[in-house]
């Protein structure tokens, strides 16, 4: 019953996370587009009112005319809409999912004894530390003079993120490492909203009410942080779907794949931001596609990845059935016996020899090519068993 209810908690947490995430990133993309598409106001009266830019658009059967003020209008509007709860709710539900799946279920999703023999407590502590320290270090860096030079700042961020990706992949299961990398970046994005952007906006409103000049530092800081946020967006979204792709997180060089995809995501976003401004160079998007093509080629399964284990006997469906029953069927059965599993994960069941032969390709993919299964190697599958599956699979073809 507990496992069943937890499945519902998981479903609802994920659903809300997705909905608020879409609302947040959707609004954020829209405002980046808006800000970069502004034109000088046509009417002199608008300019005098303090309007610095405007844009006309059509959507959902209506025409919209958005205007941006240099600072604020002469009199504050009665209702001023703030965009913040989308970001906060995304973070809260995201942390909830992280805690539920990767911390509460650390033995399954976070720890891989083949990578590092961590205790559950140590693994969770490292996970939390990466997220907390990640935010504080990033925030300090942004406040230092170093951040004034954008190229230096980008280079430092890139090198640090590479080191973090590498470090996490030496400690956690591939998917656990990826998810903590994404959670750290996502936390930085929400931290930027909560600690920098929103307080800056509040000061702007307060200054207006008190009739004083707002401190320009808030504008500069807010701009810097929202630029970072926009480049972090695509990498974070990749991480959120990455657990479907064991070819990435399950690869020997998973950290490198993660950082290359992060770079590709940032380059694609750079291109789109420039496009909104109407002067996009194709270089970033071409670079992104070259990297992507390189990645596809390099990640392709190699013959040399074959396990060099001597097999003691012949492999036939009976021996494979025995291995799969022992190593997989505690979870992948109609009625799983593994605690915490209410139903076969992804509906994939291996009970009869026919189940196994029919699903040979995915079994081979998960146990030999990516070694993503058994998840967290909970059932302690040996290399010899993986090699047997490999040999059996080659015979089948
Ligand atoms: C401890 C439980 C557990 C064991 C043991 C286990 N699996 Fe899984 N398996 C899972 C979970 C959980 C998922 C879903 C992962 C996800 O959420 O993406 C899964 C997913 C899969 C998938 C689908 C992957 C995809 O992304 O489409 C395959 C194939 C698979 N397992 C094969 C195996 C094989 C083969 C074995 C035995 C060598 C095995 N599993 C052992 C828990 C387990």
Ligand 1: centre distance to CA 332 (Å) = 7
Whole-number Å distance, alpha carbon 22 to ligand 1 midpoint, is 28
Cα gap 321→62, rounded to integer Å: 62
- The answer to whether the CB of 205 falls within 8 A of the CB of 144 is no
User: Does the CA dihedral 311-313-318-322 come out positive or negative?
Assistant: negative
State the distance from the centre of ligand 1 to the C-alpha of 209, rounded, in angstroms.
Answer: 58
Ligand 1 probe mutation, 374, 382, 392, most atoms within 8 A of CB? 374
Quick: pLDDT tens for 239-265: 999 999 999 999 999 999 999 999 999
Query: If phi over 0 gives left and psi between -120 and 50 gives alpha, with beta otherwise, what is residue 369?
Result: alpha
Structure confidence by residue, pLDDT tens digits, 8-59: 999 999 999 999 999 999 999 999 999 999 999 999 999 999 999 999 999 9
Q: Can you give the pLDDT at residue 376? A: 87
Higher per-residue confidence, 293 vs 71: 293
Q: Tens of pLDDT along 164-197?
A: 999 999 999 999 999 999 999 999 999 999 999 9
CA 36 to CA 269: how far, in whole Å? 13
Peptide bond into 250 cis (omega under 30): no
What is the number of the ligand 1 atom nearest to the C-alpha of 362? Answer: 29
Supply 85's token pair.
């709860």
pLDDT at 369: 86
Q: Does the pLDDT of residue 308 top 80, yes or no?
A: no
Which residues sit with their C-beta closer than 6 Å to ligand 1? 108, 243-244, 324, 327-328, 330-332, 338, 345-346, 348, 362-363, 366-367, 373-375, 378-379, 381
Within 8 A by CB and 6+ apart from 264, the residues are 234, 288, 291, 292, 295
Which of 328, 337, 368 most suits a substitution to test ligand 1, by most atoms within 8 Å of the C-beta? 328
Residue whose Cα lies nearest atom 26 of ligand 1: it is 244
Q: Which residues contact 100 (CB under 8 A, 6 or more apart)?
A: 6, 9, 10, 13
> Nearest 10 degrees: CA dihedral of 52, 58, 61, 66?
-10
Residue 102 Cα to ligand 1 midpoint, Å, equals 16
316's CB contacts (< 8 A; 6+ apart) are 392
Tell me the per-residue pLDDT of 112-157, one tens digit each, with 9 for 90 and over.
Answer: 998 999 999 999 999 999 999 999 999 999 999 999 898 999 999 9
Q: What is the percent of the chain with per-residue pLDDT over 90, rounded to a whole number?
A: 80
For residue 307, the model assigns a pLDDT of: 66
**At 211, is the pLDDT very low, low, confident or very high (cuts 50, 70, 90)?**
confident
- What does the pLDDT look like over 52-71, one tens digit per residue? 999 999 999 999 999 999 88
Mean of the pLDDT values across residues 285-305? 89
Nearest-angstrom CA–CA distance, 192 and 204 = 17
- Looking at residue 304, its pLDDT comes to 60
Ligand 1 centre to CA of 347 (Å) is: 10
pLDDT (average), residues 183-212: 94
Q: Are 78 and 205 in contact (CB under 8 A)?
A: no
Average pLDDT of the residues in 284-291? 98
Mean pLDDT value across the chain: 93
Are 38 and 68 a contacting pair, CB within 8 Å?
yes
């Amino acid at each position: 019953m507990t496992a069943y209810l937890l499945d519902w908690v998981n479903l609802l947490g994920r659903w809300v996370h997705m909905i608020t995430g879409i609302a947040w990133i959707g609004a954020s993309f829209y405002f980046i587009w808006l800000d970069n598409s502004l034109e000088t106001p046509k009417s002199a009266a608008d300019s005098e009112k303090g309007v610095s830019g405007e844009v006309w658009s059509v959507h959902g059967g209506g025409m919209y005319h958005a205007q941006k003020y240099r600072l604020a209008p002469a009199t504050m509007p009665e209702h001023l809409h703030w965009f913040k709860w989308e970001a906060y709710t995304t973070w809260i539900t995201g942390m909830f999912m992280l805690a539920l799946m990767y911390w509460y279920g650390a033995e399954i999703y976070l720890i891989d004894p083949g990578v590092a023999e961590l205790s559950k407590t140590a693994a969770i502590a490292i996970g939390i530390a990466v997220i907390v320290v990640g935010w504080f270090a990033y925030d300090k860096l942004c406040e230092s003079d170093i951040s004034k030079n954008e190229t230096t700042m980008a280079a430092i961020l890139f090198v640090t993120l590479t080191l973090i990706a590498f470090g996490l992949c030496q400690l956690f299961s591939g998917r656990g490492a990826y998810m903590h990398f994404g959670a750290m970046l996502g936390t930085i994005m929400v931290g930027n909203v909560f600690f920098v952007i929103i307080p800056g906006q509040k000061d702007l409103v307060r200054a207006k009410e008190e009739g004083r000049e707002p401190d320009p530092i808030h504008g500069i800081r807010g701009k810097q942080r929202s630029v970072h946020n926009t480049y972090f967006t695509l990498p974070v979204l990749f991480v959120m779907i990455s657990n479907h792709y064991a070819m990435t997180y399950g690869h020997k060089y998973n950290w490198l794949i993660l950082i290359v995809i992060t770079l590709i995501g940032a380059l694609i976003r750079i291109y789109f931001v420039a496009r909104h401004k109407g002067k996009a160079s194709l270089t970033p998007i071409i670079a992104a596609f070259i990297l992507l093509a390189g990645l596809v080629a390099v990640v392709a399964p190699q013959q040399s990845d074959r396990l060099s284990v001597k097999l003691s006997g012949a492999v036939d469906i009976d021996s494979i059935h025995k291995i799969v029953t022992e190593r997989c069927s505690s979870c992948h059965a109609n009625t799983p016996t593994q605690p915490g599993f209410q139903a076969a994960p992804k509906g994939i069941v291996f009970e009869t020899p026919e189940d196994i032969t029919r699903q040979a390709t995915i079994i081979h993919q998960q146990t030999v090519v990516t070694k993503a299964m058994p998840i967290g190697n909970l059932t302690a599958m040996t290399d010899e068993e993986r090699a047997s599956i490999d040999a059996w699979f080659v015979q089948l073809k």
